[in-house]
Amino acid sequence: MAFESLSEKLETTFRKLKGKGRLTEMDINEAMRDVRLALLEADVNFKLVKDFVNRISEKSKNKEVLESLSPAQMVIKIVNDELTALMGSENKKLNLSSKSPSVVMMVGLQGAGKTTNAAKLALNQKKLGKRPLLVACDVYRPAAIDQLIKLGKDTDVPVFEQGKGNPVQIAEAGIAHAKKFGNDLVIIDTAGRLHIDEELMQELISIKEAVKPSEIMLVVDAMTGQDAVNVAQSFDEKLDITGLLLSKLDGDARGGAALSVTAMTGKPIKFTGTGEKMDKLEPFYPDRMASRILGMGDVLSLIEKAEKSFDEKKATELAEKLKKNKFTLADYYDQLVQIKSMGSLEDIAAMIPGMSGLKGVKPDEDIMKKTEAMILSMTPKERENPNILGSSRKKRIAAGSGTNVSELNRLLKQYEMMNKMVKSMTAGGKKRKKLGKMGGFPGISGFPGF
């Protein structure tokens, strides 16, 4: 994951500071040297690193900080605030026109993930109540139009295309189509190149002048490091971009692009691509990202993920069952499905404060898959009453799920522990009510995969 190495180095640095109690200027200097090296290794722009470290050092050496009861925590807060400011301070929304349709022009180099992220953005906005239309204006790259059409089908978003025609005319025709059929958002997928050239820029300028977009979104590959900053500056000079979409942030990028690009261009990162699936596009929150980099978790994003996967009907049913001290394997399975829909267990763990310190302890996704397979291999009656599972039934379930009896026994033991926890809660008490309302998420340490 992006920032993993940077996060580890910064956490090590601040752990040393916490261990010292009171701090001296020499302690601050040593810590800032480590911070400087960590940022440079993450491929952050050298000038930015110098200014960033100087600001932190100056604020950290303030008398009030050094003589405070918890100087290390004060320094960490200063670093957190400066990291947040470096990445843009606050989340910036998509620029949408008051006059329908709003036009978003997606630009970037070939290979940055422009076409895929155009479809992701369309799906993102569709979930917010918009009626998007994708317009295929990349008439040069082989299969670019076919790719956009397929992505449109995958996301159930209409695609307007006119084959290998004039991109400017296609863009204009696409907007006319949107007006006719009631699409209030047009997302134009433009052509890219392997490098920046005058011909590419002139075409993009012509499209901009013709359709007057409310948003010019530059898609930048996070894996390219400092080159991402150079690309952003070049596009901004010619097109005056309004925002950036940082793709492939789930890869092994060192993070320098995310920390540098806004400070160097003055343009905000609005979205990040965090996976290959169409729903893996997230709004960018500088404060939350800073907290994650410093190992402080990201509870707000975790809550938002939970809300998206939250099934109110099932939660109400579960709440009623809990009042009667009932918690079956079918309920256990429902909670499993809801947690899976929130994303990978590793990503979820990274958002929980304190979990970042468990380096090397990775949630086992295979255990969760096996758990799901074992429960699905049971009959409805067996899920409702696991006590009827004798030797022959267990062998059948293990064979049907591709597991063995010992793994099934482990699952039944975990379930029994959770069942006891539910029954130990006071009937009708606040804790039970809260558990039911949350969808009954079990404790992390007792859940399969951890």
Instruction: Report yes or no on 383 lying in a domain.
Output: yes
**Which pLDDT band holds residue 191 (cuts at 50, 70, 90)?**
very high
**Which pLDDT band holds residue 274 (cuts at 50, 70, 90)?**
confident
Domain boundary among 247, 267, 295: 295
pTM of the model as a whole: 0.68
- Supply the range of the domain harboring residue 80: 4-86
Instruction: Report yes or no on 96 lying in a domain.
Output: no
Tokens of 108: 């970037």
Tokens of 269: 């990162």
Task: Provide the terminal-to-terminal Cα distance of the chain, rounded to the nearest Å.
Answer: 19
Q: Are residues 212 and 322 in the same domain?
A: no
| Residue 218 CB contacts under 8 Å (≥ 6 apart), including other chains | 107, 108, 231, 232, 235, 236, 241, 243, 244, 245, 267
Pairing of strands 159-160, 132-136: parallel
> Is residue 437 over pLDDT 50?
no
As a whole number, mean pLDDT of residues 269-281 equals 89
> Is residue 440 over pLDDT 50?
no
Q: How many CA atoms lie within 13 A of 396 on its CB side?
A: 10
Q: Are residues 165 and 267 in the same domain?
A: yes
Domain boundary among 239, 265, 295: 295
> What pLDDT digit, counting tens, does each position of 9-54 carry?
888 888 888 777 778 888 888 989 998 998 888 888 888 899 999 9
Instruction: Report yes or no on 23 lying in a domain.
Output: yes
Looking at residue 72, what is its pLDDT? 80
Mean pLDDT, all residues of the chain: 81
Q: Are residues 67 and 191 in the same domain?
A: no
Q: Are residues 139 and 228 in the same domain?
A: yes
> Is residue 338 over pLDDT 90?
no
Q: Are residues 180 and 126 in the same domain?
A: yes
The DSSP annotation for 314-347 comes to: HHHHHHHHHHTT---HHHHHHHHHHHHTT--HHH
Q: How many domains does the chain have?
A: 3
> What pLDDT digit, counting tens, does each position of 56-98 carry?
998 888 877 777 767 788 888 888 888 889 888 888 999 998 8
Q: Are residues 112 and 257 in the same domain?
A: yes
Looking at residue 206, what is its pLDDT? 95
Instruction: Report yes or no on 94 lying in a domain.
Output: no
As a whole number, mean pLDDT of residues 329-336 equals 79
Q: Are residues 109 and 71 in the same domain?
A: no
> What pLDDT digit, counting tens, does each position of 347-397 carry?
666 655 555 544 444 555 678 788 889 999 999 999 888 889 999 999 999
Residue 216 burial (C-beta neighbours within 10 Å; 0-12, 13-18, 19+): buried
CATH of the domain at 243: 3.40.50.300
Q: Are residues 165 and 185 in the same domain?
A: yes
Q: Are residues 360 and 437 in the same domain?
A: yes
Q: Are residues 284 and 373 in the same domain?
A: no
Looking at residue 200, what is its pLDDT? 87
CATH of the domain at 328: 1.10.260.30
Instruction: Report yes or no on 126 lying in a domain.
Output: yes
Tokens of 344: 């990978």
Instruction: Report yes or no on 92 lying in a domain.
Output: no
Q: Who has greater pLDDT, 38 or 337?
A: 38
Domain boundary among 86, 112, 131: 86
Instruction: Report yes or no on 97 lying in a domain.
Output: no
Instruction: Report yes or no on 397 lying in a domain.
Output: yes
> What pLDDT digit, counting tens, does each position of 204-243 carry?
999 999 999 999 999 998 887 778 888 899 999 999 999 9
Looking at residue 318, what is its pLDDT? 57
Q: Are residues 113 and 81 in the same domain?
A: no
Q: Are residues 117 and 51 in the same domain?
A: no
